[in-house]
Every structure is written in structure tokens, then in C-alpha cells.
Amino acid sequence: MSGYRNAVDGDYLNEAAHPLRWQKSIAFMADSGISGRSIDKGLDLGERTPLTGMIEELFGCCFVNSTVDLDVESLQGSYSVVCAMEVLEHLYNPLHLLLEVRRVLSGPEARLFVSMPLSRPAMLRSPDHFHEMGESEARAFGRAGFRVQRSAEFRIRRPLFYLSGVKPFLRLLFEKVQIYELRVDRGGENAGG
């Protein structure tokens, strides 16, 4: 069973918003100051997409993709960087995955990069999303033993898209992605599990 809910197929890859989201995600990760010199290998949660290749190019090392059910199964291996780009919102229990990621992250510069949509009105929500980023989801990072290094928000559509109808215009007002760079909280005051 797949650990996320969207199939990575032609329809997914042809969605116009994805290349822009991938570019903005890579730009955010590039500002982390991490490079292939400081990491051995990484984990990109979910199926391999063009974003995985872009992440490998950015960090200069191989990234493997997860093959387990991310809601209930354990992650294997040890990684310097883990990416969960547009993954957590598809899970029934994101805290389980965050605790698993904390367990497999290793090294003094270990990082978790997470992105997910900001919470939006019900009429704009995806039926595949169980969670969208709000205060409670952000608190789960601390509960899992992470601290926020930095964060940003961005839109995932080209400007003319928002003029193509009422629902697209509402997306201009409400649709954004929140992205985080997280580090393991070595002090343990927020450690969960």
C-alpha cells in the first residue's frame, strides 16, 4: 500500500502548479547553506518525481524515495536530509511520520524540509487532504522533537490563472504553501514519543 494518496502519473506530472512549486521549494532549500559536502545521502518521502532529481542536483548526493506506508510503517536507514514536500497533508497521522523522520535523521547538520498547503476554506480543499497547515499542525513539529530553523509562504500558480474564474480568484486569496526548514531539537525539551 502506498503511504500517500496521490498517484504520481501523467495527470499529476502535467499539473501546471507543480513546476512552479518545485522551483520555489528548491529556492527555499538552496538558502539553507547545506551542500553535498556536509551530507551523505537523503530521503525524499513519496514517489520519485522531477523534484527528487532537482533536490539531488541541489545537494549533490543521492536521494532515495520511501516505499513504506508512511501512516503506520517504520522508515529504514540514516539520512542527513529528509524532504516531505506536499506529503503530510495526505496522512491520517502526520505525527507518526515526523517521529520516524526524527529517528532516521543523523549528523550535526541534519535537516527536515516540509511543505504543505496552508489551511483554506472547505470549498477550496482537496478531497485527498486530511490536514492543511494551521497552528495545530505546526505544533506537531515541536511535539516530534523538531525546532523551526526558518519558514516561508508562497503561491503555486501563475498570475493569469487567478483571473480565469471565481474559484481561481478565491485561490488568489486563500491558496498558499507553507515551507519549513526543521532541525532536531537537541535540547530535548520538545521531544515527543
**pLDDT per residue over 157-192, tens digit each?**
777 776 778 777 776 666 788 899 999 988 754 444
* pTM value surpassing 0.75: yes
**Among residues 83, 86, 64, which one has the least CA distance to residue 5?**
86
Kind plus residue range of the DSSP H or E element containing 143:
helix 135-143
The predicted-structure confidence for 56-71, as pLDDT tens digits, reads as follows 999 999 999 998 999 8
10 Å CB burial of residue 115 (0-12, 13-18, 19+) is buried
Q: At what angle do helices 94-104 and 135-143 cross, to 10 degrees?
A: 40
- In angstroms, the Cα distances linking 23 to 67, 170, 189 are 25, 23, 35
**Among residues 67, 175, 91, 33, which one has the least CA distance to residue 99?**
91
Domain boundaries, the chain: 10-184
CATH fold of the domain at 10-184:
Rossmann fold (3.40.50)
Tracing cell 504520481 back to the chain, one arrives at 8
Residues 159, 55: Cα–Cα separation, whole Å: 26
